[in-house]
């Protein structure tokens, strides 16, 4: 029977295979495989020192991997970085904007470096400033900006050349909760309105859980598990019974609420039932808390 | 094409523009002090190599001051790289390392030429006559290029500001004092002579002085300067590649 399907083919933006980076005798990442498809919203989660930033740097050309392959739309990134670089937008951990330049000049610099045709530059920059809500600060030196404003500027700067994938390394670290929310909304808008694939690292795991449609959990330079946050949680059981012992809290996992309740009734200690979080998944797999 | 070169230069010149007043004022002070102390202090009572001392001194100051400015981009690059991480923007962009080096070098040359112009202005005040011909321009362009690329190399190799200061103390400052900027190197004992002739500044000071005072330019020295320039261009490229580890 012939089945004619018109399923839209979703292309892989990024494929990385066996990525290794050693600094001297220290192995920062140890065989990372990643696949990001168009429009994906993926989190790379792990504790400090797990290799998240090195992974991002290796994928964006700031660090040369010792081994492995990286392809953007099939273009070999390590052999021919120039062709692949136009697909990439990067928001690094530090807001690395030029303090002495104005917001407009910072964006203009980016437009030259990324060879945006001269007649298009102005319009694109004005549009970016509006998207970031910075149009009133267009000609102010960036050194007068708050942390949140700098972050928004770095974000729209990374988008100026219309990349296919945006890398965000701890995009909300060091920001106030209200501003953090504001940045997340902007990132979500970029993903949804522009259809841009997103790969981000964060240790605000509860925020990642809400936003990411897929996650890689990384520890000691290796990916230990991947999947959608929901699937990962389901695999753990879905429900946690927290048993409050005298000196510690013990966690037991159950696949249904009824099972958890049954256990609760026979348990002689104070107990609490809650849903599994990505944090639980993480602790179970690595034995470490992520928010340390 | 050349968008990398353009971008780097756009960034550096715009940053410079905002601090131009302060920068120019700061770079104009030290040559003036030298001129007052040694130029007026010795006046024309002292002759060196058949020239009044102040006429001998001014080309040396041009060599020194333009070196300070061209090489001085190392400090700016350092801040750009370690404090503000702006250098990452260059590395992430689809531009070649050659363009980054040439863009930064052009900025260093610009600063070197600016300080040269300043000392020309002083030479008028101190009524010293100089010959400014095409050979001088060839010399000063090579000179500023070679020290700008040396600056890029050092800025990419050091791990922090401390390292940078160490290089300045042990390499750059001694070189400035020993390379014939203030006195003729041929007066030095033989051992020192070997040492100073290994330094690029010795050659460029000799060539710059010869072109400005109407003396004979030793083409071998100019050739050596070109050699140093080519070598430092390559080390700058290598050093940037090394940053990507």
CB contact under 8 A, B92 and A60: yes
Same domain, A59 and A153: yes
Residue A7 pLDDT greater than 80, yes or no: no
Is B193 part of the contact surface with chain A (CB cutoff 8 Å)?
Answer: no
**Residues in chain A within 8 Å Cβ distance of B96:** 82
Its domain, for residue A239, covers 232-286
Is A99 part of the contact surface with chain B (CB cutoff 8 Å)?
Answer: yes
Give chain A's domain count: 2
Predicted structure pTM score: 0.89
Place of tokens 């610009």: B110
Q: Is residue A3 part of a domain?
A: no
Which of A118, A288, A126, A272 minimizes the C-alpha distance to A219?
A288
Top-ranked range on mean pLDDT: pick from A104-108, A148-152, A188-192: A104-108
Same domain, A236 and A265: yes
3-state secondary structure of B74: helix
Same domain, A210 and A247: no
Q: Is residue A187 part of a domain?
A: yes
Residue A53's domain is classified under what CATH number? Answer: 3.40.50.300
pLDDT one-digit tens code per residue, A231-246: 888 888 888 888 888 8
Residue A195 pLDDT greater than 80, yes or no: yes
Q: Is residue A1 part of a domain?
A: no
Same domain, A47 and A139: yes
Is B169 part of the contact surface with chain A (CB cutoff 8 Å)?
Answer: no
Residue A74 pLDDT greater than 80, yes or no: yes
Work out the burial of residue A248: count CB atoms within 10 Å of its CB; fewer than 13 is exposed, 13-18 middle, 19 or more buried.
exposed
**Which among A200, A227, A254 is the end of a domain?**
A227
Is A112 part of the contact surface with chain B (CB cutoff 8 Å)?
Answer: yes
Is B90 part of the contact surface with chain A (CB cutoff 8 Å)?
Answer: yes
Same domain, A152 and A245: no
Same domain, A115 and A240: no
Residue B241's pLDDT is 92
- Angle value at C-alpha B108, between B158 and B228, nearest 5 degrees: 70
Q: Is residue A5 part of a domain?
A: no
CB contact under 8 A, A96 and B86: yes
Same domain, A18 and A113: yes
pLDDT one-digit tens code per residue, A272-282: 888 888 888 88
Residue A177's pLDDT is 87
In whole angstroms, what separates CA A4 from the centre of its chain?
Answer: 36
Q: What percent of chain A has pLDDT over 70?
A: 96
Among A94, A99, A113, the residue with its CB nearest the CB of B95 is A113
Q: Is residue A133 part of a domain?
A: yes
CA distances A252 to A219, A232, A283, Å, are 23, 16, 13
Is A154 part of the contact surface with chain B (CB cutoff 8 Å)?
Answer: no
Same domain, A110 and A138: yes
Same domain, A165 and A260: no
Q: How far apart are CA B77 and CA B86, in angstroms?
A: 9
CB contact under 8 A, A113 and B15: no
Q: Are B48 and B185 in contact (CB under 8 A)?
A: no
Same domain, A106 and A175: yes
Same domain, A168 and A269: no
Residue B53 pLDDT greater than 70, yes or no: yes
**Residues in chain A within 8 Å Cβ distance of B84:** 94, 96-99
Q: How far apart are CA A120 and CA B16, in angstroms?
A: 26
Q: How far apart are CA B131 and CA B214, in angstroms?
A: 6
Same domain, A183 and A236: no
Q: Is residue A79 part of a domain?
A: yes
Q: Are A239 and A276 in contact (CB under 8 A)?
A: yes
CB contact under 8 A, A109 and B89: yes
In whole angstroms, what separates CA A232 from the centre of its chain?
Answer: 17
**Residues in chain B within 8 Å Cβ distance of A105:** 14
Residue A161 pLDDT greater than 60, yes or no: yes
The sheet with strand A75-76 has its strands ordered as: A26-37, A12-23, A67-72, A75-76
CB contact under 8 A, B84 and A96: yes
Q: Is residue A2 part of a domain?
A: no
Q: How confident is the model at residue A292 (pLDDT cuts 50, 70, 90)?
A: very low
Which whole number is the average pLDDT over A201-221? 87
pLDDT one-digit tens code per residue, B171-193: 999 999 889 988 898 888 888 88
Q: Is residue A6 part of a domain?
A: no
The sheet with strand A239-244 has its strands ordered as: A249-254, A239-244, A270-275
Better-scored residue on pLDDT, A291 or A280: A280
Q: How confident is the model at residue B64 (pLDDT cuts 50, 70, 90)?
A: very high
Neighbours of B46 (CB within 10 A): 14
CB contact under 8 A, A109 and B91: no
Structure tokens at A200: 């981000």
């Amino acid at each position: 029977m012939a089945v004619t399907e018109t399923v839209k083919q979703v292309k892989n933006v990024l494929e990385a295979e066996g990525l290794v980076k050693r600094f001297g005798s220290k192995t920062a990442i140890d065989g990372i495989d990643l696949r990001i498809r168009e429009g994906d919203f993926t989190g790379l989660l792990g504790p400090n020192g797990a290799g998240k930033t090195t992974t991002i740097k290796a994928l964006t050309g700031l660090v040369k991997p010792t081994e492995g392959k990286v392809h953007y739309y099939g273009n070999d990134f390590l052999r021919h970085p120039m062709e692949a670089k136009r697909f990439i937008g990067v928001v690094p951990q530090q807001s690395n904007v030029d303090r002495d330049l104005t917001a407009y000049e910072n964006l203009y610099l980016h437009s030259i470096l990324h060879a945006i045709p001269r007649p298009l530059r102005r319009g694109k920059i004005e549009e970016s400033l509006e998207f970031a809500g910075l149009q009133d600060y267009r000609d102010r030196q960036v050194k007068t900006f708050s942390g949140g404003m700098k972050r928004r500027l770095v974000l729209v700067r990374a988008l100026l050349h219309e990349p296919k994938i945006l890398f965000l390394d701890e995009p909300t670290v060091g920001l106030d909760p209200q501003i953090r929310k504001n940045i997340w909304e902007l990132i979500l808008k970029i993903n949804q309105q522009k259809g841009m694939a997103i790969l981000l690292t964060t240790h605000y795991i509860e925020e990642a859980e809400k936003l990411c449609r897929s996650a890689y959990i990384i520890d000691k330079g290796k990916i230990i598990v991947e999947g959608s946050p929901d699937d990962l949680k389901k695999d753990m059981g879905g429900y946690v019974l927290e048993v409050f012992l005298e000196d510690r809290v013990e966690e037991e996992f159950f696949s249904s609420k009824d099972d958890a309740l049954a256990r609760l009734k026979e348990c002689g200690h104070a107990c609490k039932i809650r849903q599994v979080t990505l944090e639980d998944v993480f602790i179970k797999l690595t034995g470490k808390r992520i928010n340390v | 094409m050349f968008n990398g070169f353009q971008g780097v230069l756009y960034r550096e010149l715009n940053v410079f523009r905002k601090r131009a007043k302060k920068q120019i004022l700061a770079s104009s002070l030290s040559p003036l002090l030298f001129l007052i102390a040694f130029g007026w202090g010795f006046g024309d009572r002292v002759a060196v190599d058949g020239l009044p001392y102040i006429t001998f001194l001014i080309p040396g100051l041009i060599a020194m001051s333009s070196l300070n400015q061209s090489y001085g981009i190392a400090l700016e690059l350092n801040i750009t790289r370690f404090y503000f991480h702006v250098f990452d923007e260059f590395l992430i962009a689809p531009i070649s390392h050659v363009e980054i080096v040439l863009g930064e070098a052009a900025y260093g040359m610009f600063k070197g030429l600016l300080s040269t112009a300043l000392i020309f202005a002083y030479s008028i005040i101190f009524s010293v006559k100089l010959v400014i011909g095409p050979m001088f321009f060839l010399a000063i362009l090579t000179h500023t290029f070679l020290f700008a690329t040396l600056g890029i190399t050092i800025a990419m190799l050091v791990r922090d500001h401390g390292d940078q200061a160490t290089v300045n103390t042990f390499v750059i400052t001694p070189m400035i004092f020993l390379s014939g900027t203030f006195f003729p190197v041929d007066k030095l004992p033989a051992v020192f002579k070997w040492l100073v002739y290994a330094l690029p500044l010795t050659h460029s000071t000799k060539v710059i002085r010869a072109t400005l005072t109407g003396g004979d330019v030793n083409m071998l020295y100019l050739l050596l300067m070109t050699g140093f320039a080519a070598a430092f261009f390559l080390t700058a490229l290598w050093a940037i590649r090394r940053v990507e580890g």
